[in-house]
Amino acid sequence: MEKRIPDDACQYFNEAMETMTRAEIEALQLERLQATVKHCMQSPFYKKRFEEIGLKPEDIKTLADLRKIPFTTKQDLRDTYPFGIASTPLRNCVRLHSSSGTTGNPTVILHTQKDLDEWANQVARNLWMVGLRPDDVFQNSSGYGMFTGGLGFQYGAERLGMLTVPAGAGNSLRQIKFITDFGTTAIHAIPSYVTRLYEVMKENGVDPRKDTKLKVLAIGAEPHSEEQRKRIEDMMGVKAYNSFGMSEMCGPGVGFECKEQNGLHFWEDYYIVEIVDPETLEPVPDGEIGELVLTTLSREAMPLLRYRTRDLTRVLGRSCPCGRNHVRLDRMRGRSDDMIVLRGVNIFPIQIEKILMQFPELASNYLITLTTDEDNDNMTVEVELEELFTDDYSRLLDLESRIRRALKDEILLTPHIKLVPKGSLPVSEGKAVRVVDKRKVYQ
């Protein structure tokens, strides 16, 4: 376990792991996969599953043999709730987290002390990669508690050696006071919350460029478009790096953008990354969108083999000017279960966001509502206006029709558009809720 903090000038937190060649990565993966599979035989769930199909740990001789192992699904975690999938006795576990339950019952993930240490190393690696050093002041606006974004970033930022401010979620005035009083240089936040924070800064006469020392944002935990990122960077006057995590894989730290901002580096010393066709479950070629499947390589309490994340993405490359050869994945489109099927057309909320963010007249908050009206399924997109100009009807109508046209080009359907005053749509403290489905008949 790497605990040493490198010199500030070093580009890498763990140079040996971050700069491995592809051949080195694959050799390490095979070694760690074999050890993981062996260890999984301590899990009643995996032991039974392997026995059922007559697979033995010794049958995993090459990385390609991974495909002999059945997938693990969220349903498996629910069926074995709370501890049935663990590969380590509870006595050796020191922490439990659970997913935020965005798409159903929560699932429980256990950690040993070693798991927590490795997780902190992963997060520290990411924060170091985007230029943060022990002199920085890191403020975490994630909710603490079961949500992994809280403690996950806390321990990672501390591992790096930063002064860490566990501000927690919400209470924007207090956040801003901390930012200015403590000289916060980096914030971790959910993208939808950064916009809110900026609004409150503006209302209180705080200019993030002049009145704060901010230089880096880590944004993640929910899907967001490139356009949304650009807006956030323009508003706050700093770089915003995409951070991917999920509780099943530990939490934040699984994938993170480097300074090139050309996709998320997924750490292949910790995970094997597969992208599969969600229907056939066969691998898709690099560049093609499919479901992300992850196998943990260093987890003790609860290793997961070929876990179907339901997140849709694609491989962008396996090398990078930053010197890291860990696979680069495209920003997530959303989860397969976020996909809206409306009149037979498949639409992701992120496609709608991308269009809306191109209109400077619009603010960042929006809500998609699906209804059945006289046997027809319809979509209404409510979006907040940056400024109120309700007295100028022709301007409103013109804006509405331009948005409708742009959306039609993107999603091939014509939604109703409702322009609403800023601050009138619900804001959640956690992940943003973008879609409300009130249809009578579900596809």
Binding site for Zn ion (CB under 5 A): 258, 260, 320, 322, 324
CB of 265 to Zn ion, least distance (A): 6
Nearer Cβ to Zn ion, position 320 or 368? 320
246 binds ligand ADP per the rule CB under 6 A: yes
E strand residue ranges, 259-336: 264-266, 271-276, 290-296, 307-313, 315-317, 328-329, 334-335
Nearer Cβ to ligand ADP, position 353 or 377? 353
H/E run at residue 241: strand 239-246
Tokens standing for residue 42: 């301590």
Q: What is the SS3 string spanning 202-225? A: HHCCCCHHHHCCCCEEEEECCCCC
Residue that is written with structure tokens 């390609």 in the block? 64
Nearer Cβ to Zn ion, position 260 or 288? 260
Residue 221 binding result from ligand ADP, Zn ion, none, given CB thresholds of 5 to 8 Å by partner type? ligand ADP
User: Taking the C-alpha atoms of 151, 157, 162 and 168 in order, what is their torsion angle to the nearest 10 degrees?
Assistant: -40
CB of 73 to ligand ADP, least distance (A): 13
Nearer Cβ to Zn ion, position 322 or 407? 322
Tally Cβ neighbours within 10 Å of residue 207.
10
Residue 258 binding result from Zn ion, ligand ADP, none, given CB thresholds of 5 to 8 Å by partner type? Zn ion
Nearer Cβ to ligand ADP, position 222 or 377? 222
| Choice from 14, 36, 99, 121 touching ligand ADP (CB under 6 A) | 99
8 A C-beta contact, residue 85 and residue 43: yes
Tokens standing for residue 425: 């749509």
Tokens standing for residue 270: 């910790």
Query: Burial of 279 by CB count in 10 Å (0-12 exposed, 13-18 middle, 19+ buried)?
Result: exposed
Within residues 314-353, the interface with ligand ADP by CB under 6 A covers 331-332, 335
Distance CA 217, CA 414 (A): 35
Residue type, 11: Q
Nearer Cβ to ligand ADP, position 109 or 399? 109
Write the binding mask 285 to 314 for ligand ADP: x where contact by CB under 6 A, - elsewhere: ------------------------x-x---
Residue 253 binding result from Zn ion, ligand ADP, none, given CB thresholds of 5 to 8 Å by partner type? none
Size of the site for ligand ADP (CB under 6 A): 20
CB of 82 to ligand ADP, least distance (A): 15
Residue 322 binding result from ligand ADP, Zn ion, none, given CB thresholds of 5 to 8 Å by partner type? Zn ion
Q: Which residues bind ligand ADP (CB under 6 A)?
A: 99-102, 148, 220-223, 242-247, 309, 311, 331-332, 335
